[in-house]
Amino acid sequence: MQPFTFNPGPRLISGDGAATKLADVLPEGPCLFVTDKDVFRLGLTDDCRDALEASGRKVILFDAVEADPSKETLLAAVDEGRRHDVNHVIGFGGGSPMDVAKLAAYLLGSGDTLDEIWGVGLAKGQRLPLALVPTTAGTGSEATPISVITCEGGTKLAVNAQPLIADYAVLDAGLTLGLPAHVTAATGIDAIVHSVEAFTSARLKNPLSDALAREALGLLSSNLLKAIEEPGNVEARSAMLLGAHLAGIAFSNAPVAGVHALAYPLGGIHHLPHGLSNALMLRVVLQHNSEAARDLYAELAPILAPECEGQGSQARCAALIERLDGLSLASGLKLRLRDHGIVEDDIPLLAREAMKQTRLLVNNPCPIEEEDARRLYEAAW
């Protein structure tokens, strides 16, 4: 066995009403509570905030996080935390509030400057105590050391460093019951992409990340349509939330690759939801990778297509791609770039922007050059 390292992620609190237990485990003192206006308006944060306030803590609400959060939003959250001298942070919502909370906790605790820590392993300081509560089953952000922020010109930059791993992550399926079908679909496909890309990552793939990726893919693929068709099905929602978390741990150890690299410009430039962007690029990137990653795709295929067990690797590889594409279509997502207002003339810009995602492209099973990216966007258009 090749040497490897593995980080198991945050301590996990799971169950109905689990977010209220954060009042028992986080430090006393003022709390920066990072969320977005929709999550706040729906009342999802009420029980958690009530428990914190009942414990005597002052809760500083920051609910200005938008989709694909900007650098300005992050720095505004940090300023709010400094103004109230907070000593711990909670991120509550989808990937965007959690990403802002992770970096806010780090910048408040370490005193580092944001522009000095973009990239992998450059944030080495001490963050404030941090808890993350996902309200979607998709990003896995509660499990990862990664925060993605949209900067000038729509470019997405990331900080990937161990200090961003939260102290606690909360999994409460009840918080996901109100998700609209299109959000359940997009976030679920996002988590499935995390599973597949972690299992086939060209760097840092290891037996533990493989095991988690396989388990996550099974949970997600067998429960996604059920969660969409039966939105109140707590068991399906619980399986999706656990699957997304396991996929998050998997890809925080064996990082994602080409699908994400080509998805990011769709979010940064055209403001498409991240999960939808991944769904749009999934089939074409897997086909691009299909020879280099054939044996690995073949290993995953029986999870979604048990009937292909025993077939050759090429047939199983094709079955995986077909079944994932079919799952995306069955979830109700429209899978052509043109369906989302993207014109063909945008393709050269998208390809150039994708080439900036070097931290992701290096993990792909085979190279994706700018000419390849243009061809893949054309195929997805």
| Rg value, the chain, Cα | 20
The answer to whether 125 and 112 are in contact (CB under 8 A) is yes
| pLDDT band, residue 21 (cuts 50/70/90) | very high
Tell whether 5 is covered by a domain: no
* β pairing state of 156-160 and 146-150: antiparallel
CATH number at residue 349: 1.20.1090.10
166 and 236 part of one domain = no
DSSP per-residue letters across 307-351: GGTTS-HHHHHHHHHHHHHHHHHHTT----GGGGT--GGGHHHHH
Tell whether 2 is covered by a domain: no
Of the residues 130, 152, 175, which one is the last residue of a structural domain?
Answer: 175
| pLDDT band, residue 156 (cuts 50/70/90) | confident
Task: Judge if pTM exceeds 0.85.
Answer: yes
Tell whether 3 is covered by a domain: no
Average pLDDT estimate for 44-64: 97
170 and 275 part of one domain = no
Per-residue pLDDT reduced to its tens digit, 336-376: 999 999 999 999 999 999 999 999 999 999 999 999 999 99
Instruction: Please give the Cα distance from 18 to 172 (Å, whole number).
Output: 6
Per-residue pLDDT reduced to its tens digit, 77-87: 999 999 999 99
* Crossing angle between the packed helical segments 274-289 and 313-330, to the nearest 10 degrees: 160
Instruction: Please give the Cα distance from 138 to 242 (Å, whole number).
Output: 10
Q: Which residues pair with 59 in a beta bridge?
A: 31
Number of domains in the chain: 2
Tell whether 157 is covered by a domain: yes
| pLDDT band, residue 258 (cuts 50/70/90) | very high
211 and 119 part of one domain = no
CATH number at residue 154: 3.40.50.1970
Cα angle vertex 225, ends 222, 231, to 5°?
120
309 and 187 part of one domain = yes
For CA atoms 212, 214, 217, 220, the dihedral sign is negative
301 and 200 part of one domain = yes
Instruction: Please give the Cα distance from 380 to 377 (Å, whole number).
Output: 5
The answer to whether 327 and 304 are in contact (CB under 8 A) is yes
19 and 157 part of one domain = yes
The answer to whether 169 and 9 are in contact (CB under 8 A) is yes
Q: Is the pLDDT of residue 155 over 90?
A: no
167 and 209 part of one domain = no
Q: Is the pLDDT of residue 279 over 90?
A: yes
Q: Is the pLDDT of residue 262 over 90?
A: yes
224 and 373 part of one domain = yes
Range of the domain at 75: 11-175
Q: Is the pLDDT of residue 153 over 90?
A: no
- At 157, phi and psi to the nearest 5? -115, 155
**Amino acid identity, position 292:** A
Complete edge-to-edge strand list for the sheet that includes strand 156-160: 119-120, 156-160, 146-150
DSSP per-residue letters across 157-216: EEEE-GGGS-SEEEE-GGGGTT--HHHHHHHHHHHHHHHHHHHT-SSS--HHHHHHHHHH
17 and 131 part of one domain = yes
214 and 166 part of one domain = no
Tell whether 278 is covered by a domain: yes
93 and 133 part of one domain = yes
Of the residues 175, 200, 215, which one is the last residue of a structural domain?
Answer: 175
Per-residue pLDDT reduced to its tens digit, 305-325: 999 999 999 999 999 999 999
146 and 228 part of one domain = no
